[in-house]
Chains A and B, each alone.
Chain A
Amino acid sequence: MTDTEKLLDAIGRINGEAVLAAGERRGRTRGRAIWGALAAGLGAAAILGAVIMAGRSFDIKAGLDREDFASIEEVERLYGGTLLTENMKDANISSVHLLHREGADISDTSGWDTLAFMAELDGEPIEMSCSFNAPEGIPLPGEPTRTVEYNGVEVYLYLEEFAEWDEKYKYACEAIFSYEGVRYDMLVRLREPDEIYDFLDMVMGISHDDSSSDISSIKPFDTVLGFEDYHVTMEQVTPWTIVWHFWAEIDGEDRCVAETFGDEQSFGAYSVDLDGDGVPELITNNLYGDGAQEVLVYRNVDGEIMEGRVSRKYYENELGFDMTVGNAMIAEEHYDPESNEFVVTNYGREGEKTVTFTGLEHFIFDPFEHQAE
Chain B
Amino acid sequence: MEDEEIIGLYFARSQSAIAETSKKYGRYCYSIAYNILSNRQDAEECVNDALMNTWKSIPPQRPVKLRAFVGELTRCAGLKKWRDAHAGKRGGGEVALALEELDECVSPGRVPEQEVEAEELGDAVNTFVMGLGATERSVFICRYWYMRSIKVIAAQFGFSESKVKSMLFRTRSKLKDYLIKENIYDGH
Indicate the size class of the contact surface on chain A. 35 or more
Which residues of B sit under 8 angstroms from A5, Cβ to Cβ? 83, 99
Q: How far is the CA of A14 from the CA of B122 in the complex (A)?
A: 7
User: Do B79 and A288 touch across chains, with their CB atoms under 8 A apart?
Assistant: no
Would you list which residues of chain B between 147 and 188 have a CB under 8 Å from chain A? 149, 151-152, 154-160, 162-163, 165-166, 169-170, 173, 185
Q: How far is the CA of A371 from the CA of B102 in the complex (A)?
A: 23
Closest to A241 in B: B158
- Number of B residues, CB within 8 Å of A: 58
Which stretch of B14-22, B47-55, B67-75 is in the interface? B67-75
Which residues of B sit under 8 angstroms from A3, Cβ to Cβ? 106, 109-110, 116, 185
Q: How far is the CA of A84 from the CA of B87 in the complex (A)?
A: 60
User: Do B169 and A288 touch across chains, with their CB atoms under 8 A apart?
Assistant: no
Contact of B145 (CB < 8 Å), options: A2, A14, A241, A371: A14
Contact with A along B74-115 (1 / 0, CB 8 A): 011001000100000000000100110011011001100000
B126 at the interface (CB under 8 A from A): yes
User: Do B166 and A326 touch across chains, with their CB atoms under 8 A apart?
Assistant: yes
User: Do B170 and A20 touch across chains, with their CB atoms under 8 A apart?
Assistant: no
A interface: dominant SS = mixed
Which residues of A sit under 8 angstroms from B69, Cβ to Cβ? 16
A290 at the interface (CB under 8 A from B): yes
User: Whole-angstrom distance from the CB of B32 to the nearest CB of chain A?
Assistant: 9
Q: How far is the CA of A324 from the CA of B158 in the complex (A)?
A: 21
User: Do B169 and A7 touch across chains, with their CB atoms under 8 A apart?
Assistant: no
Most chain-B CB neighbours within 10 Å: which of A2, A290, A292, A325?
A: A290
Given A21-B138, A241-B158, A371-B152, 18 further pairs, Cβ under 8 A: A1-B83, A4-B105, A4-B106, A6-B116, A9-B76, A9-B122, A10-B121, A10-B122, A11-B141, A12-B72, A12-B79, A16-B65, A19-B71, A22-B141, A288-B163, A289-B158, A325-B165, A328-B162
> What would 17 A/B residue contacts be, using CB atoms closer than 8 Å?
A3-B110, A3-B185, A4-B99, A4-B103, A4-B105, A6-B121, A7-B102, A7-B106, A7-B125, A8-B79, A10-B124, A12-B72, A12-B122, A17-B65, A261-B158, A329-B162, A371-B149
